[in-house]
Structure 1
Amino acid sequence: MNDTYSVSIVRLYADKDGESHFSDESLPLALAEFAPPAPAILFWCEVLGYVAPPPPEGFAGGDDFNRTLPPKQRDSWFACSDPSGAGPRLYFQRVPEGKVVKNRLHLDVRVGPGLVGEERLAALEAECARLIPLGAVRVRLLPADEENESCLVMQAVEGNEFCLD
């Protein structure tokens, strides 16, 4: 059985006093059909340097916990987060409908902030070379213009496009 999964990003924002908070809103991203969700989850964890949360108390690992769930709930969700706490938490969740439109959310992976010209291109190419063995596909280079620096459009293992920026 192939299932479609969505991922939600819980956003961090600052209030009027400068205090940081996580929003309750989430942004859905429909992923192409795959089963189980592991390939996409492992891909995005590696791309972003994210980690899985520890298993619930009393379980040696997530697989042990997963086996205790009713069959329809197994492999139905997964969360991962930035170990530094700076980035948003990603929550992958099985959804009943398949992907029917272009990306519902486009992620930019920041690899060259502040870099320009050849130095920026070298950083983008190095990250591209790291991601291809993980299953990413290079789609095209968007060269710098009067308003924007160069970025690389990539395709993730589940088919959604993202940019190395």
Structure 2
Amino acid sequence: MGTLLPFSSTYDWTEDDLSKAESELHQHQSTTPFDIYVKQSSELALERQRKPQRDVILKPLLPALERDEAHANVSYGPLLDDYLELRLDSLITWQPITIAQVENVITLSRLIFRRRLVHQESEIFHKEQIKRRKELDEVSKLNREIIRVTNAMQNEVTHLARALS
């Protein structure tokens, strides 16, 4: 289960999704080249096999992600989808498997998203030097914090890798 990636942009299947995909594949079996049919069939079988394992990993992590989404909905409003997309990218990159790791990814995502918002705001006020200076200072602080969190997460991954080897 160590090589199983709990977060993916392509493998977020439900049981219904898997059943529909298998059904469609079998319906088009006669028109699908054999090697493609075998490959897709194997991928679906593997995903069906891994889904319960992935669900076991994700189950304790979902409350933290749901709380973050509720917080982001209040904080970011119409920008919620942008934040969730950035958070998914971070989840896919870091593949957290503990609640603490998920919290770190959420913190990192919020910092990166805040930096993105400050950059956008800075472009709006690019002619107002005082306002721009404040925003650039904030970006600098955010960058330092992003580096700190990223380094802490990287150290944790390194320690886990050493412990497993």
Q: What TM-score does the superposition give when structure 1 sets the normalisation length?
A: 0.25
Query: Which structure has the larger Rg over C-alpha atoms?
Result: 2
Q: Which has the higher helix share?
A: 2
| Normalised TM-score (structure 2) | 0.25
Richer in strand (by share): 1
| Higher relative contact order, structure no. (Cα contacts within 8 Å, ≥ 6 residues apart) | 1
